Chain A
């Protein structure tokens, strides 16, 4: 069954085969063409096309005024984007790596996320912050953080994270069109790992909706971004043991698709949450609470979490030990099924 291909056919006839980073580039290009108020800001995004080439060729096509090489100044990028956003523009600000978002945290926490509420809707901040995140690409320290929980905890901003090229473009366009700020997390490890058909032109993937990637009966694996391939590998490996996994790709981390989760967990009675951020204070805990609220009496085993450890994301020599692996997921599946 290929739900996606059917959906694509409805929207447009022509597609291109793209990697995720190419799909992001295509999404940005689509919105720069579509809407004159869209403006990209970031470090090295212009002539250099971004350190991952996500903005390759865009400055050439749209000019220095719309694809802006900014000073090396994350708080300045986000802070000036607030000013642009309240005055008619749609800024898409790139943080070169999510680990570099911390200088901008103050702006996001104290203004981006709360300007609408504190002015009772008079001012709003329709902006997108793009942030490549995650470990597994042998990058230097601080380049590999997965800080979604800092932002899902923050009222007033949505957080999305695609796992495929198709979703990356569709979610990015939805984020740019959203009337409120959206943090758009890009799994670096998946940037070039997969190619798939991506429609040309404009389409959106709805914010707040996840997707069931694989139907199963025994246990629900809940993941997003770069952990989707890990969940898929684990599910494949337990097939031999006749354990059937259902896989959910959340896609949006705030607001969560609670119906999708409840429906699946109520069917399987077991859930494994997989994320690469640290366990304590991680989004996994909110997911457990959601399941507790909706599906407590359906559970047949305690909910398992497979996460990064409660340590700073290490230098890359140890990152493979830090990251959840199919082996660790497998162990949790066994534990849940044989509880």
Chain B
């Protein structure tokens, strides 16, 4: 299976493009966009960890190491497409247009963090594993039935492929040929359980064979491979070619969450040889003369300010309103719920 699904890449660890045809497709706009977003979400991610350490937000699941997978895939989408993230995919949602203040708010326990900006089709992060996969299929199915060309991009990790909803979702997508891109980030650990214990199969891509899905295994730390392979899948889906399974092999640099200690279960030397995707892109930019010091300094400055401003806005966001507990459970709250609300607000002296 590893022969049938080799890890495809177009850029090596030193940032050299190994495929001439791909090089011609890479232009300055794409390079700058990729670097900008990867840098942006890296700063966000590191800031979030630091905020958690200071007790300014709750538990946070870092995605460092997976920036190329998240940015490369989501950049392949169009404005009207849909994103179905997990809790570790805020790099993708931020790049797709999610609000940074609200993304911080989500990790500070606020439902406001699940509300996407108007016109952005971003589902709330799935916390239960794999449950978002059938949702992405259903929404894609709706787009197909409406006769649009919109697609859905669904993220999930390696552990999710052991869940029933992964298989049920892929099967539905296959049977009804929905325009769905199943984007797996295989970071090789589901919390503490390594992929070798998660499955006996050699690859995740091969699981697509069972559902007759075009499937591909790529280097998830190679932004260009991720971008162009996702783009292919998106085009296929838009043109009625149905779903695709992409396995992006990557590496979670840090812990599962800020409450987790990976030294308990990951050998120290493991992952040492993995070249960080942002470093790899930097090598490429230097090799191919895309590295402009002034621009780099400028965006670093801008992005740092953006992140700081978002933290500031998060911390000055209006306090949560206890009414929100009750007001969004139903479109029209039943009398008994309104009574619970009333009596609690009276107790608080707000009735």
Contact = CB atoms under 8 A, between A and B. Distances in A.
Interface stretch (B7-15, B68-76, B141-149): B141-149
B236 to A, nearest CB: 20
A312 interface: no
Contacts of B123: 86, 123
A80 B114 contact: no
A281 interface: no
Chain B interface residue number, banded: 35 or more
A115 interface: yes
Contacts of A254: 334
A83 B116 contact: no
B336 interface: yes
A87 B151 CA distance: 12
B137 A80 contact: yes
Contacts of B142: 83-84, 87-89
Interface stretch (B86-94, B127-135, B224-232): B127-135
Interface residues of A, number: 44
A83 B145 CA distance: 13
B165 A79 contact: yes
Contacts of B137: 76, 79-80, 83
B207 to A, nearest CB: 16
A110 B131 contact: yes
A124 interface: yes
A121 B142 CA distance: 20
A327 to B, nearest CB: 34
B138 A83 contact: yes
A111 B125 CA distance: 11
Interface string A63-85: 00100001101011011111111
Interface string A86-104: 1111010000000000010
B180 to A, nearest CB: 9
A76 B169 contact: yes
A118 B114 contact: yes
Name the residue in A83, A122, A255 with the highest tally of chain B Cβ atoms < 10 Å from its Cβ. A83
A125 to B, nearest CB: 10
A228 B250 CA distance: 60
Interface in A98-133: 103, 106-107, 110-111, 115-124
Interface in B21-41: none
A123 B138 CA distance: 14
A180 B128 CA distance: 22
Contacts of A75: 134, 164-165, 168
Interface in B99-145: 111-112, 114-116, 123-124, 127-128, 131, 133-143, 145
A265 interface: no
Name the residue in A70, A82, A110, A208 with the highest tally of chain B Cβ atoms < 10 Å from its Cβ. A82
Nearest to A180: B330
B328 A121 contact: yes
A121 B333 CA distance: 12
B133 to A, nearest CB: 7
Interface string B309-351: 0000000000000001001111110111100000000000000
A327 B115 CA distance: 55
A76 B336 contact: no
A84 B138 CA distance: 5
Contacts of B136: 83
A158 B124 CA distance: 23
B114 A87 contact: no
Contact of B329 (A65, A70, A106, A156): A156
Contacts of B165: 75-76, 79, 106-107
B124 A119 contact: yes
A258 B335 contact: yes
Nearest to A254: B334
Contacts of A122: 114-116
Given A76-B168, A80-B141, A255-B335, A107 B131 contact: yes
Interface of A: 65, 70-71, 73, 75-76, 78-89, 91, 103, 106-107, 110-111, 115-124, 155-156, 158, 179-180, 208, 254-256, 258
19 contacts: A65-B145, A75-B134, A76-B165, A76-B169, A76-B171, A79-B137, A79-B138, A80-B137, A86-B123, A86-B138, A87-B82, A89-B145, A91-B138, A103-B164, A107-B165, A116-B328, A117-B111, A179-B332, A208-B334
Given A73-B172, A120-B324, 18 more contacts: A65-B145, A71-B168, A73-B168, A73-B171, A75-B164, A75-B165, A76-B168, A80-B172, A82-B134, A83-B134, A83-B139, A84-B142, A87-B143, A89-B142, A116-B331, A117-B328, A121-B331, A179-B332
Interface of B: 82, 111-112, 114-116, 123-124, 127-128, 131, 133-143, 145-146, 152, 164-165, 168-169, 171-172, 175, 324, 327-332, 334-337
User: Nearest 8 pairs between A and B by C-beta?
Assistant: A83-B138, A79-B134, A76-B168, A255-B334, A80-B138, A87-B142, A83-B139, A179-B331
